[in-house]
Structure 1
Amino acid sequence: MPLPPRQPYAVPPAPSVLMDRPDVETLLCEQEERTALQAKLAHLRTLHAPHARGNATVIVDSKFAEGVHLRTRELVKDPAAHAASHISLQRHYESRGAHALARVNALMWADCEISSGSPFHGMPPHEIAGILLARMDAAGIPRPSYILFSGRGLWCVWLSRRPLKARVQARVRRLICCLWGEAVQTGAANIERVKAKAAANAAIWAGMDLDWSVGDMARVHRVAGSTNEKSGERVRLLWPESWEDVQRHDLDTLADAVFPFTRAETTLYREERDARRAAREAQARAEGKPVAPSRLRTHSRGLWGAVEAELLRVLAIGPERLARLEKRDLLCFHVAVARARTGVGGDADSWAMEFGPYVVGNGLTQETLRSYLGSVAKRLRAHEAGEVRMHQGRAYSPLYTPKLDKVRSDLNLPSDLCDELGLTLLRPDAPVRTATERSAARRQREGATARAEHAQTLAEVARLAREIQGATDLPLTEVARLLDCSRATVYRALDAHPAEAVGEPVPSEETVSEGVSETARNLKGGYASPPRPAPPETLAPSAPAAKAPEARPRRRKAQAASQPQTPTWLMHGPLSRLLALYEHARSCRASNRNGASFGPMGCEWEDIEYAQYMLNEEVGEGRKLFPGGLKPLNRPKALARLAKVGIDPYRYLPCSSPEARLH
């Protein structure tokens, strides 16, 4: 009987107890990564709720390259979100920027850096968070939704209870600045209260380096569970204990706590102001006085503030007349552009609501007007976010920047309407002034002195300064004080009106007569010195010693008539004789050393002092008493040697009297 076929032998699997187990460090690392991923997903769900409007931007690259825009329902599933290191606070449409803001999700935030010079440096992060919470409680600020340790500092974020529209971003930015300690005044004139609130808010962040550059609506911050590559620390939640305990806030509640005035106080102030205005108008009507009609608010902010005021004047003529002009949309467009350029700001919704009563009707709806002004609002958001447009290598603002001639040609207002409203800038036939003419008009408005009158004043200042300096020995500062002007004005007057031009005798800098040199009485000399013996040689400046301050350039002076001068024995001047005696003393000391050791600096000082003594003796006798040539063998070398050891030879020259030396 044949045997049945043999079944192939199968090796049974080894029991799990006999397999190699991974080491403990690998297990701990895997557990840490799983915990970090869970913390990251919990942070993303808390910050951006699923099925919310707009896209969240996640940053994966540490160099902040282009981010990945994900719908909120994709945050938990997408691999890019799992590897994200940063996440946007707000939600946007196409790109991350204030111009594409979809919903406002975070109402306030603050980035507190702990630098090495901070008193909190080295303190555990949870203790710093406790100090911040205590300070906020003392200042009456609601606690943040969460406090995050970013690896080098703390992030405090206040989340909104419900997503808000993009038009509240201006209020949110103002709220953030006030939270950081900026004096933001809203609704009243009590400046002391504003300053006190700003000081209380700034005290919250005392001892920390608050980053003031993170107040834009495109801001991103680190995700919990990621690793800060700069410090190697893990980003984690400090407060509250878990993401389920995060509390959200209302914008009005936060604004009442952070701003110096609550919304109720601001509303009451405006109602009282309107009541006072209505009472004044009623009294004027009762007395039979004319009452000015209500008008749109105007802003006087430079050229475009004046353009806006005239455009608002045209808007106030009524919808019927504006419809006949067929310029309603262009008029509203240029008003919005003017407000964007003057810094007043706004958005398409607020502009449409304000201009609607004046232009809506006869085929133009408020929705159409809002859509028409959307491009201006979009460019204004980009400008507020700090974005620029590059053209031929230069950066330009994204705002519309039409010239005034463009506005005139677009509107082309009739002359009779311009005369009726008193328009000057928007007239089609307005004269175009050059930059010089505009500058002259501005100077005239400011009360500046005309150039002809100013030149006449300078001529009078020059004449009076010469008379005073010729009659007295007053220094230039005293002369300027007597003339009630600055010393620079006197200099400028003397330069513009020299003595040669007015026919006055011009004293030379030095007048030499019979061997006596007298310093000229000149305003630029500081003051006039008494007569002193004239040196036959002008002293040259010392070689590479300390660099002297640069003197003011002197006015050109007429050459004095040369007069015969009595020659003296100092043929080469006192400086040359001093250097010759210095070389003689130095050579004598070198020949008498006999092996003795002398320090170089002490030797040089003794040589120059001995040379000074010999020169003073010769000046007193009036003749040569000591050996040596009348001039040094190598004058530049001697000056360089003295400069090397810090000796100024001019200090050792003889001076006949203290009054003759200018200090």
Structure 2
Amino acid sequence: MNAVTIEPATGLLCLSRALASELLPFEHAAIIHPSDTRTAAIFRGSWFNPDRRCWEDNTFAAHGGNVEEAVARGTPRFVTMNAFRTRSACFKSDWRENPWKETQNLAALQAVWTELDFHDKPAWKHLSPAEMIFHVIERIRSRGWPLPTYILCSGSGLHVVWLHTRVSPRKAMGIWKALQQALNDAFIDMGRDKAAMSATTNLRLAGTKNEGRPVSILWPVHVDEIVRHDFDELCRAILPYTVDEARAYKAKLREQKTARQARIAAPTGTPRLTGTTFYATLLADLDKVMTDRFPGVVDDGHRNEMLFIHARVWAWLMEPDELIARIKAEAPRFGFTQREALTHMRSVINRAKSACNVGRGQADPRYKIGPQRIRVDLGITAREAKRLDLRMLIPPSLRRARAAERAEKSRRARGAASRAEQQSVRLEHGREAIRLREVEGLTRIQIAERLGGVSPSYVDKAVKEAKAVALIRPKRARKTKEELNEDSLEAEILDQKRERRIADREAEAIAAAAMAGSHDSSRYMSNDAGALVAAESPAYHGDIHGVAPPSSEEHERLVSGLAGRPFSVSAPRQHANEEARRRHAWWTDHLRQLTRSLAEGRSASAR
């Protein structure tokens, strides 16, 4: 491993054998940001505001040569590990007082690190920071990695830092992120802080305090033992691939992307989708909906909504002057005059004009509008979307169905088999795999090779499906009466079931008649098993003693049918409700008394 010893900053030459644990904040900052650099180091601290009588955060920046003066003036507690350009966060403000601490403003990458909050882990929380250092160093050595530049105690945790030669973020940001990820993944069980992995992270300065606990460098012991590693050598030692291999892989991806774009742009390929095609398709769907719903002029209840939706889409497809002309031309269609339409759409026009002055990196002020919001506002259903052949204003269910249909067509075009065919083939493979395992005793890998080089997971899935199909029992065909005659017991059981069904139907008829109530129609008895039949006579009111005597014909018919035989009414089925059972009991008592009265009348007349 090539290692470059750090040149001590101003004031540190005489302290080359000084203890690292005694470094002051500006000395620690000078190690991270050397004095010969023209990039900015960003600091963060706090200061007491006498006007508000409270402590406030204070962020400022300084060149490498001005670190000592800036630290003495601002008393910071944190410093960025990477360097930034001398740009301010606000226009026309001083970058020293208002620095721009964003990823796009990075000037150089010069360190990787991991922040360990081991006090939150049960396996390590009983150790002190000094004791924890030995476990960290042992893990680094076991992986064959270079030792860190320094390990700092942040008060309760550890900052393990590897300083390296400066590289450009534009060229090496991807490799730097991979290196940072690899380092932090090695200390997950020790409580690595995932939130402190960003390139813009700031860490604590040595010589400060964290809630009363001192912050200091615990390893190495002396200042002259602090080294800065070569970035390429550090990547080769830690990453599973070299920098050259990563660059070759990126070049290959770029070639594939170029070929894919050329294939898409070819006449036979799919047309390239852009923002213009998006809003043009959305506008076509809107026109279909409006033409279908409002063949003439849009009615008063929907004209404001329809014009506002159309104007927001037009704003993304044309310049402000064209937008104004389009609104004027379409105003009569929406039931407005030109002046009214321009007044109502003033906000859309103003935003379209403001969009012409938007610079790079600034947000577009035009209204953001999506198809799903329009679909919900207009209440477009799946049936309407199918009927009008809409492409974007469709519900999610229809969108998924169309996506599945397109995928199916694409698979068919590539020669892929249907799902049913694949399942059939897989079922045969599963049965064959079961036979090979039980008869020949082959393993999964051997079975996969025997079946034509399929994967072992495919064998597992095929066997699972074959077992599931084997457990399915075919339905037995129902026997006819002639077939059951051969077995008298089964025939008898069948007859008993049929008789029970007939009895249940009779009970259901009685329960239904009882539920109709005495206020619906009067009742009379028939010759068949005491069933209740609705009659056309007026409704009966009152109890049994107030009933009118039957006519002579009814008397003869009822007496001839009922006298001399016991009367019974099948009980209602168990599932009948309580009201049905109550009515059934009342009618049973009613009919028994009527039968008894008729029988006594016939006996008296005979005597």
**TM-score bucket of the superposed structures, by smaller chain:** 0.3 to 0.5
Q: Which has the larger radius of gyration?
A: 2
- TM-score normalised to structure 2 length: 0.40
- TM-score normalised to structure 1 length: 0.37
More helix by share: 2
